[in-house]
Structure 1
Amino acid sequence: MKNTLASVDLDRTMIYSRAALGFPVDDSVTCVEMYDGGPLSYMTIDAASRLDKLCSVAVVVPTTTRTIEQFQRIALPGAPWRYAITSNGGNILVDGEPDPQWRANFHEVGLDRIRAELDARAVGEWVLKRRTADDLFCYLVVEPAQVPDGFLTEWSQWCVARGWNVSQQGRKIYTMPDMVSKSKAVAEVVKRCVDEGALSARPLTLAAGDGALDADMLIAADRAIRPAHGELEALNFQYRGLTVTATSGGRAGEEILAWLGEQVEGRVEP
């Protein structure tokens, strides 16, 4: 039985694109995702080793806004996963398969209305793609420098009044129902792990993430860390007890996994 659970965001927290790494791809990194026949995402070899070790002493739960299909492209050390969280908390994967009982909580999110309004507002060459994720939420892929002034503020205000929220992470602008969140899914996974005997009755919960959609997960954890880059860094997101890395890019991924390992060390059962 383990006594610590770590919920860890993926993109720009634990894995990095070539552009996000912050240094050239070399023999210090390993590819963890292929797409269209080419490498897409990387971890440093040091980070991969630390993740593998972390999985031996803690329950590690990959926790991502990616869709199920996008998540399944990634080959992380420590797999296979008993639990993983995708779709920003809208899906819990159990042994790789989506749990229909959890997904049933989100059948009536009102996505069609939101998508129609977004289509009417988001018009112009700055919009590169429109995507719907697992019939739960939608997002735009944009040219960040060309997003019209005031669009994010006005769209966010309209959505907040209807129980939705808006977040921009790099080239993507997410529109998400408030009822779908990483923290709620993590709480459910913690409960299940305790019930199954995989976790002690009062486990330590750790979390790591870089984006605004990770904020609720970080706050809900007993201890949390974020990298010194990304949306939360731009927002200067801070609260008592939150650790911020000294490094950014792929080196921050190493630092995050080192920190998670250090938190677990004092909790390992003799």
Structure 2
Amino acid sequence: MNARTTADTPNTGGAGSTVLVASDLDRTLIYSAAALGLDMPDDLAPRLLCVEVYQGKPLSYLTETAAVLLAELARTTVFVPTTTRTREQYARIHLPGPRPEFAVCANGGHILVDGKSDPDWQQHVRRTLAAGCAPLAEVRAHLSRTADPAWLLKERTAEDLFAYLVVDRARVPDGWVDELAAWAGPRGWTVSLQGRKVYAVPKVLTKSAAVAEVARRTGAGRTLAAGDSLLDADLLLAADAGCRPGHGELADTGWQAPHVTALGRRGAEAGEEIVRFLLRAAGA
């Protein structure tokens, strides 16, 4: 295992002083054109850096100021991108700064070490899922029965770990997501609505468990976190300190915790505010 040792990590003033920063990506650090939230006059809009291209077209951005700050964060902490994206989707992203040694993909289903999925963690996840929730096939069958083709655009699975739907959100009936969550809960699954996507994810498949494993391997003494959705709640709760933006599921539901700072900005400007917060909290 080519895991970085405590002596090799940034910001190591002594044993256990390594700071690990685990951050969600989409609508936390990076933003699609639709999510940028540039509601200021055009001549006052910030300069943007494209960090993801899909099918030959730019897809995700952050502000140039956020890019400079994020590069500094990656140089001075153990920065761990922590995403619900699959490994293939994550590979399209090119963040500023040094390439992270560790990343968490598929909502904790994979720990990447130097870009490759760790086989020991894969085995651990398979055992955990087998013991802790209803099978994926049962959930997919229920989604197929209850999702109306009138508003269902796509049905997908991610890494054979969880399922998600791409929907016409304006046409999804009121209460449908809540009904899905009520059905999924007793079967060990959780539901999250993020933009046009409805996720059904095993409760035992968590970002926090994967980040805890990275912290163990790096000898991190403190963990900081950032995220915007209900799938980030466990990550934020497990961290020593964290923040959420003024948009997203957590903000919309009023979710809070004593050690998690609710930031006020929304859209791409929130990305800047989040990285500034993490830099201050890390003492970088």
- Which secondary structure does the structure 1 equivalent of 2:26 belong to? coil
Give 1:16's aligned residue. 31
Q: Map 1:7-46 onto structure 2 (within 5 A).
A: 7-23=22-38, 28-46=47-65
Give 1:246's aligned residue. 264
For normalisation by structure 1, the TM-score amounts to: 0.92
Q: Which moved more, 1:119-128 or 1:87-96?
A: 119-128
Amino acid at match of 1:113: E
Amino acid at match of 1:63: T
Is the 1:9–1:208 Cα contact (8 Å) retained in structure 2?
A: yes
Q: What is the alpha-carbon root mean square deviation over aligned residues? A: 1.5
Give 2:84's aligned residue. 65
Q: What do the CA deviations read for 1:68-99 (whole angstroms, capped 9, x no partner)?
A: 00000000012422100000011100100011
Is the 2:74–2:100 Cα contact (8 Å) retained in structure 1?
A: no
CA distance in 2, matches of 1:122, 1:15: 29
Is the 1:106–1:136 Cα contact (8 Å) retained in structure 2?
A: no
Is residue 2:198 matched to residue 1:173?
Answer: yes
CA distance in 1, matches of 2:46, 2:257: 37
Among 71, 76, 100, the residue aligned to 1:81? 100
Residue 150 of structure 1: CA displacement? 2.4
Give 2:4's aligned residue. none
Give 2:3's aligned residue. none
Give 1:106's aligned residue. 125
Residue 105 of structure 1: CA displacement? 2.5
CA distance in 1, matches of 2:33, 2:224: 27
Give 2:245's aligned residue. 227
CA distance in 2, matches of 1:43, 1:154: 35
Q: Which moved more, 1:52-61 or 1:108-117?
A: 108-117
Is residue 2:227 matched to residue 1:209?
Answer: yes
CA distance in 2, matches of 1:73, 1:182: 20
Give 1:6's aligned residue. 21
CA distance in 2, matches of 1:173, 1:27: 31
Is the 1:206–1:221 Cα contact (8 Å) retained in structure 2?
A: yes
Is residue 2:147 matched to residue 1:122?
Answer: yes
Is residue 2:165 matched to residue 1:140?
Answer: yes
Report sequence identity in percent. Answer: 49
Residue 27 of structure 1: CA displacement? 6.3
Give 1:94's aligned residue. 113
CA distance in 2, matches of 1:189, 1:259: 22
Q: What do the CA deviations read for 1:178-229 (whole angstroms, capped 9, x no partner)?
A: 11000111101100111xxxx4xxx111000000000000011000000000
Q: Which moved more, 1:101-110 or 1:125-134?
A: 101-110
Is residue 2:274 matched to residue 1:256?
Answer: yes
CA distance in 2, matches of 1:212, 1:87: 15
Residue 241 of structure 1: CA displacement? 2.1
Runs of 4+ in 1 over 4 A off after TM superposition: 24-27
Aligned length, in residue pairs: 259
CA distance in 2, matches of 1:27, 1:254: 11
- Which secondary structure does the structure 2 equivalent of 1:161 belong to? helix
Amino acid at match of 1:136: L
**Unpaired stretches in structure 2, ≥5 consecutive residues:** 1-6, 13-17
Amino acid at match of 2:47: S
CA distance in 2, matches of 1:148, 1:106: 34
Q: Which moved more, 1:169-178 or 1:120-129?
A: 120-129
